[in-house]
Amino acid sequence: MSEIREEFALFARREGSNVSALCRQYGISRTCGYKWLGLSPAEGFSDRSRRPHSSPAKTGEDVESRVVELRTEHPHWGGRKLRRLLENEGIEKPPSASTVTEILRRHGLLNGPGAGEPRDWQRFERKYPNELWQMDFKGHFAMLDGRCHPLTVLDDCSRFSILLLACGNETGSVVQGGLIQAFRTYGMPLGILCDNGTPWGIKGEITTFGAWIMRLGIRLHHGKPYHPQTQGKEERFHRTLKNEVLSARSFSDLEHCQKHFDAWRNIYNLKRPHESLDLDRPADRYRPSHREYPEILPPIEYEPGDIVRKVQKGGYISFKGSWYKISTGLEGQPIGMRPTTEDGTYDVRYVAQIVAQLKLGHNLKRKEV
């Protein structure tokens, strides 16, 4: 509960925040929300440091000891991250990142190939939070009871971990349940990027899960087949999750996994400096979406000039005396066809997204979504 309070207060205190909307998203009353805003970290946010905000009398030995303590708590964090932690704790004039690295070296805490060496960074990201979320399953692993399939959702701009869920399988219903949980708390993004595997899409076809995403007004994007770098931020997040959580312990069941996932996700979002964010924390860059999740799906409406057809069994529609296959995931759903500038060619839309292009007398050409 303390991490939920801290996260809520961090977002609610930002300029322009809608406290009432945040209270609805977090499932609390306005009275409770304003009560949480009145709490100091020492009063209610147990996972935050209770050290003084400023420590002008700190000696070099004290700082060095604190560096060693932080490295012990976070053995995979290097000099730059640890220096930012010292700053966040209020230590005035903390040592440089290179000095922190030397402290780690002296204490035998620097390890791994290339440790302490500068790295080149190249990144591409959306400009604002919630423009795009990246979603994928981390490779499943064995527990004492069954296997865990970690579902991860990451905000492309801020690297904020939206969802880290221990799942027993990779079905669309399980993913949908996890996303509903995330939508209710953080609102909905403009788009979601996933790969071409189940349940997101099968050989370019729209799945029932994909149709649900589009029905919510969220644009569904798929990475290019055999190009995992399209979801590079998710891949990097998965490596961090493996290094800092999965490799260090074994798990008994899904509940045990989720307990550790929740604790680490809180550290990742609210404490861990991120090198791709100039050592800001993901929570420093993220803010919840204003697009609230509708508990009842909105009706599907098309423009007056669109030609509407209902997708029949097997994913087919009948149009001008011929049958065209749209997608089995859209069975029973209305699609809208809009003429293009090319004679005899129509854009096939589901809700607001173009999912295919139909040319009379030819096979349907699916659009990349």
Question: In this structure, what DSSP letter does residue 147 have?
Answer: E
Place of tokens 């440790």: 115
Mean pLDDT of the region 144-151:
96
Please state the φ and ψ torsions of residue 151, each to the nearest 5 degrees.
-95, 125
How does DSSP assign 44-74, residue by residue?
Answer: H-TTS--S-S--TT--HHHHHHHHHHHHHHS
Flag whether pLDDT at 224 surpasses 70. Answer: no
- Look at residue 317 in the predicted model and tell me its pLDDT: 93
Q: Taking a C-beta distance cutoff of 8 angstroms, is the pair 30, 65 a contact? A: no
Residues 6+ apart with CB under 8 A from 271: 47, 85, 88, 281
Give CA–CA dist 350/334, Å, rounded.
Answer: 7
Mean pLDDT of the region 227-238:
77
CA dihedral (75, 80, 81, 87) in degrees, to 10, reads 130
Between 108 and 70, the more confident residue is 70
Residue 274 CB-half CA count within 13 A: 23
pLDDT level of residue 62 (50, 70, 90 thresholds): confident
pTM of the model: 0.73
Place of tokens 């700053």: 87
- Look at residue 70 in the predicted model and tell me its pLDDT: 81
Of 215, 217, 210, 211, residue with least CA distance to 193? 210
Mean pLDDT of the region 247-261:
93
Q: Taking a C-beta distance cutoff of 8 angstroms, is the pair 70, 79 a contact? A: no
Flag whether pLDDT at 2 surpasses 80. Answer: no
* Percentage above 70 pLDDT, the chain: 84
Mean pLDDT of the region 146-170:
96
Give CA–CA dist 79/65, Å, rounded.
Answer: 14
Q: What is the largest CA-CA distance in the chain?
A: 85
- Look at residue 1 in the predicted model and tell me its pLDDT: 64
Mean pLDDT of the region 330-335:
95
**Out of 24-38, 140-154, 269-283, least confident range:** 24-38
- Look at residue 49 in the predicted model and tell me its pLDDT: 47
- Look at residue 203 in the predicted model and tell me its pLDDT: 62
Number of neighbours of residue 126 by Cβ within 10 angstroms = 17
- Look at residue 114 in the predicted model and tell me its pLDDT: 44
Residues 6+ apart with CB under 8 A from 328: 205, 314, 315
User: Three-class SS of residue 236?
Assistant: helix
Number of neighbours of residue 234 by Cβ within 10 angstroms = 24
pLDDT digits (tens, 9 = 90+) for 89-98: 888 778 887 8
- Look at residue 158 in the predicted model and tell me its pLDDT: 94
Flag whether pLDDT at 357 surpasses 60. Answer: yes
Mean pLDDT of the region 206-214:
92
Which of 8-17, 108-117, 141-150, 358-367 ranks highest by mean pLDDT?
141-150
Between 240 and 122, the more confident residue is 240
pLDDT level of residue 111 (50, 70, 90 thresholds): low
Between 95 and 47, the more confident residue is 95
Distances (CA, A) of 148 to 18, 141, 163, 199: 37, 6, 15, 17
**Out of 61-65, 229-233, 271-275, 299-303, least confident range:** 229-233
Domain boundaries, the chain: 2-106, 133-285, 307-366
Flag whether pLDDT at 261 surpasses 50. Answer: yes
CATH architecture of 133-285: 2-Layer Sandwich (3.30)
Flag whether pLDDT at 66 surpasses 70. Answer: yes
Mean pLDDT of the region 297-306:
92
Question: Average per-residue pLDDT in the chain?
Answer: 83
Between 315 and 73, the more confident residue is 315
- Look at residue 283 in the predicted model and tell me its pLDDT: 93
- Look at residue 308 in the predicted model and tell me its pLDDT: 96
Of 299, 341, 318, 266, residue with least CA distance to 7? 266
How does DSSP assign 160-220, residue by residue?
Answer: -EEEEEEES---HHHHHHHHHHHHHHH---SEEEE-SSTTTEETTEEPHHHHHHHHTTPEE
Mean pLDDT of the region 273-277:
84
Question: Which strand (E) or helix (H) includes residue 264?
Answer: helix 254-270
Of 140, 89, 114, residue with least CA distance to 257? 140
- Look at residue 204 in the predicted model and tell me its pLDDT: 65
- Look at residue 127 in the predicted model and tell me its pLDDT: 81
Question: Which strand (E) or helix (H) includes residue 136?
Answer: strand 133-137
Q: Are strands 307-310 and 334-339 parallel, antiparallel or unpaired?
A: antiparallel
Of 30, 31, 52, 32, residue with least CA distance to 41? 52
* Structural tokens at position 242: 């493996």
- Look at residue 211 in the predicted model and tell me its pLDDT: 92
Between 7 and 38, the more confident residue is 7
Between 330 and 12, the more confident residue is 330
